[in-house]
A and B are shown apart, each in its own frame.
Chain A
Amino acid sequence: MKHLSEEQLIEYQDGESSGRDVGAAHINSCAECQAELHRLADMLAAYQALPVPDPGEDYGRRVWQQIAPRLNEKRSRWWQVFLEPRRLTAAGLVAALLLVAFLAGRVSKRVDHGEAALTAEQVRQRVLLLAVGEHLGRSEMVLMEIANAEPEGASVKQVNLSSQRRRAEELLDENRLYRQTALQEGDTGIANVLDELERVLLDVAHSPGNVSPAQFKSIRQRIDDDGLLFKVRVLTKEIERRENTGKRGPAQSGSAQVERNNQA
């Protein structure tokens, strides 16, 4: 019996159709080639599992600090307005956003239901909702950890917020982007809650890793006073509703809903 060549084994392992076609029948009936295939798979799996040094949790931040001074501001000049690249960029971005929305299954669902095709504006809204929904989920985790943290006993001199501070730093940049985008889209409901969230994230991000009980109390008081956790949860629900219905709520609906709930 002629065994598979190494090339055929590699093609088979790679899942290439040509390799699959040639190899499948033989491998099913040949113990030697099965063993050979397992050895190849073991070697490739071992290479995939070879450790790579961990660059550290703050690696992205360090990279940014190193390259930021070398980045020129992207400014539009008067003559660029009349040149195609800028317009192509806009068209390309819409295409990218459409693809994102399509991958998320939102656009396809709408089409399946026979409803009108989404406009570029609606696609932008959906992309924003998708990103903000995820962002609020991660922000809520940080806020909850702070809200539920209990300094142990009266003798505690410091509360460790280093994990929350690191994540707040990461969330801050995204929060600013989404707030500005929401404002640009006229979605003040989202923008208002993100604005309040940003202030608390700023407090946490700028705090030392270990804060005194008084500082900790101040941060937590701010979260409580603003009812921020509640607002974040309401907005998350509102975003889920809008994603599911595909309808855009009134511009003030998010904040108005929060206000109504606060009064209740």
Chain B
Amino acid sequence: MNESVESVRAADAIAIERTLAGDRDAFRVLVERHSATIFRLAYRLTGNHHDAEEIVQEAFLRAYQKLEQFASQANFATWVYRIAANYTIDRIRQRKQEDARRQPPSAEMSDDVEQDPLRQIPDVTPSPERLTQSLELRRQMENALQTLTHAERIAFVMRHCDGCGIEEIAAALKSNSGAAKNTVFRAVHKLREVLQPQFAPRATARAMGTES
């Protein structure tokens, strides 16, 4: 039986109230209910199973520590999603700085993405989309994601995989809405360029709004 959005929010509200009242184990309900959703976000952002699990744990730890600040929020799932996205960005920045200290300035920082995460995904169920049934195409799509900067990847995943608003993305990127919108646009443009043969044969010409 699927829970309705309203009943999930009601259940969350009760769990939050009891956690704030000092019942630490009440937080367990929230963790168990929302962990899988946050894992999906974290995996899409990082492409790495281990990193995604670490992000999930840290997101819930931070959510617990900040729970008093949640009071004016309406949706716990959205709130903890934002915490996870913010933590991912902070973590990437921190790693970049650490790597920059260890490596010569000219060295390009490689993505945290595993070389080919698709190899680790058991292909047991048919994809809902006809196009992704092709393993080769999936690999190309993952490779295309790796051409994005971290900010572009985060903006793209939040916008086009999880349906977040531009303001929400801007908040996660610590940017303004115009810059966030441009980041999403750049991400889509790059992906279309890489995947041009599969999805958009005329993408390059289109980019400038040329006449036919």
Contacts and interface: CB of A to CB of B under 8 A. Distances in A.
Do A and B interact? yes
Interface of A: 1-10, 14, 32, 36, 39-40, 42-53, 55, 59-61, 63-64, 66-68, 70-76, 85-86, 88-93, 95-97, 99-100, 103-104, 127-128, 130-131, 133-135, 137-138, 141, 170, 173-174, 176-178, 180-181
Contacts of B113: none
Given A51-B123, A177-B18, 14 more contacts: A8-B209, A10-B185, A32-B212, A43-B198, A44-B188, A46-B131, A46-B199, A47-B191, A50-B141, A50-B142, A55-B39, A55-B53, A70-B61, A74-B67
A73 B24 contact: yes
A93 B29 CA distance: 17
Q: Is the interface of A mostly helix, strand, loop or mixed?
A: helix
Q: How large is the interface on B (under 10, 10 to 19, 20 to 34, 35 or more residues)?
A: 35 or more
Contact of A47 (B29, B128, B141, B200): B141
Contact of B6 (A43, A75, A100): A100
B72 A96 contact: yes
Nearest to A140: B1
A200 to B, nearest CB: 18
B36 A55 contact: yes
B31 A64 contact: yes
Contacts of A91: 71
B144 to A, nearest CB: 9
Contact of B68 (A63, A72, A85, A170): A85
B129 A51 contact: no
Interface of B: 1, 3-7, 9-11, 13-29, 31-36, 39-40, 43-44, 49, 53, 56-57, 60-61, 64, 67-68, 70-74, 120-123, 125, 127-129, 131-132, 137-138, 141-142, 156, 159-161, 184-185, 188-189, 191-192, 195, 198-203, 206-212
Contact of B7 (A1, A67, A131): A131
A174 B29 contact: yes
Given A92-B72, A95-B71, A71 B64 contact: yes
Nearest to A126: B10
A44 B71 contact: no
A131 B209 CA distance: 52
A10 B35 contact: no
Instruction: With a 10 A CB-CB cut-off, give which of A7, A43, A93 has the most chain B CB atoms.
Output: A43
Contact of A36 (B128, B195, B206): B206
A71 B33 CA distance: 18
Given A71-B61, A97-B13, A104-B10, A6 B31 contact: no
A5 B209 contact: yes
A98 to B, nearest CB: 10
Nearest to B200: A39
Nearest to B15: A177
Contact of A74 (B19, B29, B36, B57): B19
Contact of A52 (B43, B188, B198, B212): B43
A104 B6 contact: yes
Contacts of A48: 129, 160-161
Contacts of B199: 39-40, 42-43, 46
A42 B195 CA distance: 11
A47 B60 CA distance: 27
A2 B57 CA distance: 51
A45 B195 contact: no
A76 B22 contact: yes
Given A46-B129, A55-B36, A73-B22, A103 B208 contact: no
A33 to B, nearest CB: 9
